[in-house]
């Protein structure tokens, strides 16, 4: 069974690699120290410090495995990698859109799901807006199926991240 590719920007891959290195080099040591101290307290059957440290160890090791898998399966998108035609929206594009009904302008960076952060205008290529934007270019109007109904967006500008 093949692993699913994890689409990332170069910046996103760097962040994952830095988190992985921190967990391996620092966090593991911290958790091991906490376990050692909790064991020194004695009776493990009612030792909440030990239970907390074991839970943190399990979480840390799980996250390390998850990050290793993502880094191993990473497909880094470079500027212009995924489209030959200038101005076509691809993962990695920065897109400025205008909500036609509300007359509001927003700017989004289209990223893979791992890097998605809507609060910082980084939307996933698998989100409703992200899916609707892919393959289009400036000047086009797209329709997005949303829980509130159909939203019409005019693509104002497309640039590479």
pLDDT tens across the length of the chain (161 residues): 457 778 888 888 999 999 999 999 999 999 999 999 888 887 777 778 888 999 999 999 999 999 999 999 888 876 554 544 568 898 889 999 999 999 999 999 999 889 999 999 999 999 999 999 999 999 999 999 988 899 999 999 998 76
What's this model's pTM, rounded to 2 decimal places? 0.69
Q: In the chain, what's the furthest Cα-to-Cα distance?
A: 69
State both tokens at 47.
Answer: 């030792």
Q: State how far the Cα of 30 lies from the Cα of 34, in Å rounded to an integer.
A: 6
Q: Domains in the chain, please, with CATH?
A: 6-77 (1.10.287.180), 93-160 (3.10.50.30)
Q: Specify which residues 110 forms β-bridges with.
A: 123
Please state, in angstroms and rounded to a whole number, the distance separating the CA atoms of residues 102 and 138. Answer: 19
Structure tokens, 159: 């640039």
Strand 74-77 and strand 122-124: pairing? Answer: unpaired
Which helix (H) or strand (E) is 61 found in, with range?
helix 48-72
């Amino acid at each position: 069974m093949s692993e699913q590719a994890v689409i990332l920007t170069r910046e996103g891959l760097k962040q994952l690699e830095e988190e992985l290195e921190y967990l391996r080099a620092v966090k593991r040591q911290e958790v091991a120290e906490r376990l050692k101290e909790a064991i020194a307290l004695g009776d493990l059957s009612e030792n909440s410090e030990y239970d907390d440290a074991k839970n943190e160890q399990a979480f840390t090791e799980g996250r390390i495995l998850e990050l290793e898998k993502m880094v191993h399966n990473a497909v880094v998108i470079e500027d212009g990698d995924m489209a030959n035609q200038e101005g076509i929206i691809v993962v990695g594009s920065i897109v400025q859109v205008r909500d036609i009904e509300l007359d509001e302008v927003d700017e989004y960076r289209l990223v893979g799901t791992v890097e998605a952060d809507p609060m910082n205008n980084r939307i996933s290529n698998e989100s409703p807006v992200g899916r609707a934007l892919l393959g289009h270019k400036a000047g086009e109007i797209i329709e997005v199926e949303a829980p509130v109904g159909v939203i019409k967006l005019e693509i104002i500008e497309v640039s590479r991240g």
